[in-house]
DNA sequence: AAGTGGTCTAGACCACGGC
DNA sequence: CCGTGGTCTAGACCACTTC
């Protein structure tokens, strides 16, 4: 009988392989153990080993060739790299600033709960920040995180440290990717005042669901002055 | 013994469900049969039914909520990879339409010339199309191509065939990727009239530079009704 | 308590690629 | 021919939500 663990067996395999790839022990084009070898090595069934390889494949780390084997995928140039506001501004040579507009608990947002895979009515940390560069307003960002998992996070100083670094250093959670929904909207009076634009001005809205490994961690809505910001994306055929 | 088929069982389930979703028989938020019900219905094992649901989930058609059920995901039109308007709409089960607003030669656009790596003042094919689905306007697209390289392309029937297929079949050029710049703007009177929105309404603008292997081929600006379109992007850390 | 998705077992046959 | 990934079976237990 296997000792029952909290973390699934396939996750352990995933993490081991991911570590080997990220450390450089396994490099682009290298073959990884076959399903059957992995199953034997970890003492799991074929299905479980297979599941691990499948997960890493959809994450883009591995590439499977039927009848041939499983290989470490080419290190993708992530043109569309996910970066925090702080990182992005520093990279462009701006001095990023952040003003916290609010930081409260809420349990009234079932839409966000479901996006974060939390039970409806769960407590959420909600914080709103105004982003500035060179003293000029740039965007308004609203973030939601599980209040249970990130207990006490609202006490942190978000004007000093980025949310990414706090959840990483204090809570041990690393963001790995984000799904973003991008559309256009108009500035309502409050937004207009904060961003110093005329009410009704076009606003670029980016709604992100940020994932740590495979679980959604943060839901965020950002409203950008569209005269100050445009999003660059590279898409492949 | 089951009769061996060429197409996998889970594919059949996928296609049936996908058809029901695209036809409108199953709509956003509707529950789909559970793994167990599907397995019984199709006479397959749990794993197989589960696989079908998993595939449709990663394709974005379904959304699974543990302990609750599997639901039809919000039918947002989303652009994961680079596809033509025609391809995108067909994949979503919509009937794409296109109305050519203009198709002319111009030599007055040096900004586009430089983006396409052409000498300033070069002749350009310029065509403007109104995109519709279900008879309702969706976006306005303006494309520029080198008049020299794509001589005579304006004589093609763009309401029948996609630009992608014409440049591929007639000129032997395959699009491989695109760099996009995304921002928000407001509808000017002409745009508003064509898209049937109020002047000043928020508009999502996507400016693309499309590359064939490594050379820029097409420059295009698209204006989307932001109530009908949002862009989905996945970004990695 | 019933139902759901998530994980897992211990096997099986297939088509295909490389030797 | 052998190893590979792709598909599939017929079960199982778990944690969780809903009633």
Residue A159 has pLDDT above 90, yes or no: no
Decide if pLDDT at B82 tops 70.
no
Across the interface, of B177, B201, B231, the residue whose CB is closest to A182 is B231
CATH 1.20.1250.20 fits A77-230, yes or no: no
Chain B touched by A114 (CB under 8 Å): yes
Helix (H, G, I), strand (E, B) or coil at B156: coil
Nearest to A121 by CA among A130, A112, A108, A134: A108
Could you say which of B65, B76, B236 has the minimum Cβ distance to residue A177?
A: B236
Substitution target from A10, A116, A202, A220 for chain B, most B beta carbons within 10 A: A202
Asked whether the beta carbons of residue B82 and residue A235 sit closer than 8 angstroms, the reply is yes
HEC profile of A152-217? CHHHCCCCCCCHHHHHHHCCCCCCCEEEEEEEEEECCHHHHHHHCCCCCCEEEEEEEEEEECCEEE
CA B8 / C1′ D6 distance in Å: 9
Domain A9-72 and domain A77-230, same fold? Reply is: no
User: What whole-number distance in Å separates Cα of residue B18 and Cα of residue B11?
Assistant: 10
Q: What's residue B77's pLDDT?
A: 44
At A236, is the pLDDT very low, low, confident or very high (cuts 50, 70, 90)?
low
pLDDT value at position A206?
92
Provide DSSP, B74-103.
P-----SS---HHHHHHHTT--EEEEEEEE
Q: Using one digit for the tens of pLDDT, what is the confidence trace for A52-110?
A: 999 888 877 888 888 899 998 876 554 566 777 777 777 666 778 889 999 999 988 88
Considering only residues A14 and B235, tell me which one the structure prediction assigns the higher pLDDT.
A14
Residue B70 contacts strand C, CB under 7 A: yes
| B178 contact residues in A (CB cutoff 8 A) | 234-235
Identify the pLDDT of residue A67.
86
B134 SS3 class: coil
Give me the mean pLDDT over the B216-221 stretch: 92
Query: Quick check: helix, strand or coil at residue B123?
Result: coil
B143-178: per-residue pLDDT in tens? 999 998 898 899 888 887 888 888 888 888 878 778
Residue A237's pLDDT band (boundaries 50, 70, 90)?
A: low
Please provide the average confidence, as pLDDT, over all residues in chain B.
85
Q: How many CB atoms lie within 10 A of CB B73?
A: 18
Domain A9-72 maps to which CATH number in 3.30.70.260, 2.60.40.420, 1.10.10.10, 3.40.50.300? Answer: 1.10.10.10
Residue B66 and residue A214 in contact, taking contact as beta carbons nearer than 8 Å: no
Where in chain B are the domains?
Answer: 9-72, 77-230
pLDDT of A188-224, one tens digit each? Answer: 999 999 999 999 999 999 999 988 766 789 999 999 9
Whether A184 shows a pLDDT value over 90: the answer reads: yes
Q: What is the pLDDT of residues A114-127, one digit of tens each?
A: 888 888 888 999 99
pTM, entire model: 0.70
pLDDT over 90 at B27, yes or no: no
């Amino acid at each position: 009988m296997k000792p029952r663990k909290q973390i699934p067996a396939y996750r352990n395999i995933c993490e081991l392989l991911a570590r080997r790839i990220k450390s450089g022990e396994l490099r682009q084009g290298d073959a990884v153990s076959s399903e059957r070898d992995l199953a034997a090595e970890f003492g799991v069934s074929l299905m479980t080993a297979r599941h691990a390889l499948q997960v890493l494949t959809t994450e883009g780390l591995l590439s499977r060739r039927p009848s041939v084997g499983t290989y470490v995928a080419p290190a993708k140039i992530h043109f569309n790299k996910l970066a925090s506001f702080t990182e992005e501004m520093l990279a462009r040579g701006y001095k990023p600033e952040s003003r916290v507009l609010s930081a409260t608990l809420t349990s009234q947002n079932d839409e966000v709960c479901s996006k974060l895979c939390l039970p409806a009515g769960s407590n959420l940390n909600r914080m709103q920040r105004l982003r500035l560069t060179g003293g000029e307003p740039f965007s308004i960002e609203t973030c939601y995180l599980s209040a249970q998992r990130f207990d006490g996070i609202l006490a942190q100083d978000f004007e000093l440290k980025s949310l990414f670094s706090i959840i990483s250093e204090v809570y041990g959670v690393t963001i790995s990717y984000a799904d973003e929904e991008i559309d256009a909207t108009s500035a309502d009076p409050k937004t207009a005042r904060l961003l110093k634009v005329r009410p009704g001005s076009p606003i670029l809205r980016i709604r992100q669901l940020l994932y740590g490994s495979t679980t959604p961690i943060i839901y965020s809505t950002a409203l950008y002055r569209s005269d100050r910001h445009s999003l660059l994306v590279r898409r492949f055929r």
